[in-house]
Structure 1
Amino acid sequence: MAAPCDLGGRGVLVTRPAAQADGLCRLIEAAHGRPIRLPTIEIAPVADPGEAAALLAQSWDMLYFVSPNAVEQALALVPDGAWPGVETVAAVGRATAQALTDAGRAPELVPEQRFDSETLLAMPELADMRGRRVLIVRGEGGRALFADTLRARGAEVLFAEVYRRLRPAFDPAPLLSRWTDDVVMVTVTSDEIMLNLMEMLGPAGRAPLLATPLVVVAERTAEKARGLGFARVEVAERAEDAAIVRALCALCPAAAD
C-alpha cells in the first residue's frame, strides 16, 4: 500500500499498548515519519477470571467483543474460538473481527463504516432484541452504551470482564526535555489513553501536550480533547491504522504536496 503522504521525518507519539502499536508504527515509518512509542495502557488478565470463564462457557444468542484484547483474553479462558454455542458473534471493528477469524469464527456482525458501538447499534440486525441473551466481552469498567441500548430493546445483557487496563509507570522528564524537537503530532485511540497520557506527562507536560496537534478515532474523544484545551484535533475517519496515518497527513498539508 502506497503511503498517503510524506511526513518528512516528523515525530509522532504512538500511545497504544505495546503489543498493538507495531502496525501503526510501520505505516508511520512508510510515510517517512518517526514513531515515538509511549504505551499509556498495559493489558493484564483480571485478578479472578472464574466468573467470566463460566459466562463464556454458556450458550448465547450473541457474543459482542469490544476489542482484540477481549478476544485474546477470552480465548485464554475458553480456548474454543469457534464458539459453537453462540448464534451470532459481533465485533466492534476490523482488528477485532480479524482476531476472531484467526481463532476460528469470523463474526457475523461488524460495522462497515466507523468502528464503534454506536455504528454497530445502528445495524438492522440489532433493532429488535426481545428475548435475546447477549454477553459483552470487555475489560473492567467499559462503556455502558451498548448494554443499555440492547436492554432498552428487550435483550438480557451480561458482561464477561476478561482483562484490566493499567497505567504504566513512566518518568516524563527525558521525553519532555526533547518534546519541542521530537514530538510534532500525537495519536490516541481512546479517552482512557488520552487521560492516561496527561497523567503520565504530569503538570510540566500539560502545556506542550495541549499545544501539539492530536489525532483521535472518535468524535466523543475529540470533544473531550477540545474541552481539555487541545489546540488542534483531527478525527480519523475510522479506527484503523491507515486512517490514523491519513489524519496525520491532514494535520500537515505540506507533507502531501
Structure 2
Amino acid sequence: MNPCNLRGRGVLVTRPAHQAEGLCRLIEAAGGRALRFPVLVIEPTRNPAAQTLLAEHWDLVYFVSPNAVTFAHAQVDDCQPWLHAERVAAVGGGTARALQATGRTADLAPSGRFESEEVMALPELARMDGQRVLIVRGEGGRGLMAETLRQRGARVSIAEVYRRRCPEVDPQPLLARWSEEVDWVTVTSEQILRNLMAILGPAGRERLLVTPLVVIAKRTAEAARSLGFRDVVLAGRASDEAILAALCCRPVPA
C-alpha cells in the first residue's frame, strides 16, 4: 500500500519529455495528476572535438548527468571501446545507472546529495597531482569542478556532448487552468526554473511565485527564493522518489 496520497493534486512536471515519465508515473501511482509541461530540450552537439577527447585515455572521466552519459556514448564509434579510463565518476545514482546501462560501472559516486560539490568532497579526489581528467557535460556547464580539480593538480579537459535550449511553448492553455489544476511545481535545475519563468512571462509570474515549488539542489532553492518564490521545498536527494517524498510530506491545503 502506498503511504503517500496526493489526493488528486496537480503537479507540474517541467523536465525534458524524455526524462519525465518516471516521476510522472510515481505521481500518478500516489493519486496525483502529473501535468507534463517540458520547458527544456536536450539535443546532441555532434562535436568532433568531444569525440576526439572521448577516444583518449584518462585517469578519471567525470559525468555530470545521465544526459552526459547518454550523449557521450552515442558519439563513440561502435568499433571503439567505450571509455578508456582508469576511474569513472558519476554525479549521482541516476548517472551511475546510465553508466551501468552502457556496460561501465561508476568507480566513484557520492552517497549524499547528488551535486558536484559532493563529488569534490570524495577523499579519492583530494589530491590529483598530474592526473588527466575529462569532464563530460553539456554546453555552458558549471566550471566549478574543473577549476577545483585544476587547483588540486589535475590536467582537466572538457567534452561538451549536448546542448540545452528553451522550447517554443504557448503558455496560455496552462495559465487558463492554473488556479484549478496546478497545486505544485517541480523543477530539477536552475535553467529549467528560468526557462519556466520566461515561458510563462509576466502574465503567469504571480501565479507561479505563489505556487509551492519542489527543487532538488540547494543552489536552485536559493535562486528560486531570490526570484520571489514564496514556498520552496528542497527534496532530500535528486531522485524521483525523493521528489515524490517532498510532495507528500506537506500536502497542499484544500
TM-score normalised by the shorter chain: which range applies? over 0.9
Structure 2 gaps of 5+ residues are: none
* 2:9 alignment partner AA: R
Unpaired segments ≥5 residues, structure 1: none
Partner of 1:54: 52
Q: Where do 1:1-257 residues align within 5 Å? A: 3-46=2-45, 48-79=46-77, 83=82, 85-252=84-251
Contact 2:15 2:192 in 1 (8 A): yes
Q: Distance in 2 between matches of 1:148 and 1:82?
A: 29
> In 1, are the aligned partners of 2:55 and 2:83 still within 8 Å (CA)?
no
- C-alpha separation between the residues in 1 aligned to 2:173 and 2:43? 27
1:3 deviates by: 3.3
Deviations 1:79-110 (A, max 9, x none): 56964520000111111111111101011001
The verdict on how the C-alpha distance between 1:149 and 1:3 changes in structure 2, with shifts beyond 3 A counting, is farther
Q: Percent identity?
A: 60
- Could you give the per-residue CA deviations for residues 90-147 of structure 1, whole angstroms, max 9, x where no partner exists? 1111111111111010110011111110011111000001111110000000011111
**Structure 1 outlier segments of 4+, above 6 Å:** none
The separation in 1 between residues aligned to 2:219 and 2:3, in whole angstroms, is 26
SS in structure 2 of the partner of residue 225 of structure 1? helix
Partners of 1:159 and 1:3 lie apart in 2 by: 43
Q: What's the offset of the Cα at 1:157? A: 0.8
C-alpha separation in 2, matches of 1:203 and 1:147? 37
Q: How many residues align?
A: 253
Contact 2:73/2:82 (8 A) holds in 1: no
The answer to whether the 8 Å contact 1:82/1:105 transfers is: no
Provide, for residues 25-59 of structure 1, a one-character-per-residue CA deviation record: whole Å limited to 9, x for no partner. Answer: 0110111010001111111111x510000000000
Q: For residue 206 of structure 2, give the secondary structure of its aligned residue in structure 1.
A: helix
Shift, 1:203, TM fit: 0.8
Deviation at 1:205, TM superposition (A): 0.6
Counterpart contact for 1:4–1:245, Cα < 8 Å: no
Amino acid at match of 1:228: L
What is the SS of the residue equivalent to 1:55? helix
Q: Distance in 2 between matches of 1:254 and 1:184?
A: 9
Q: CA deviation at 1:5?
A: 1.3
| 8 Å Cα contact 1:217/1:244 also seen in 2 | yes
Contact 1:82/1:104 (CA < 8 Å) preserved in 2?
Answer: no
In the superposition, relative to structure 1, how do residues 144 and 84 fare at CA in structure 2: closer, same or farther (>3 Å)? Answer: closer
TM-score (norm 2): 0.96
**Matches of 1:83 and 1:62 in 2, distance apart?**
14
Structure 1 pair 115/45, CA: closer, same or farther in 2 (3 Å)? Answer: same
Contact 1:60 1:86 in 2 (8 A): yes
SS at match of 1:21: helix
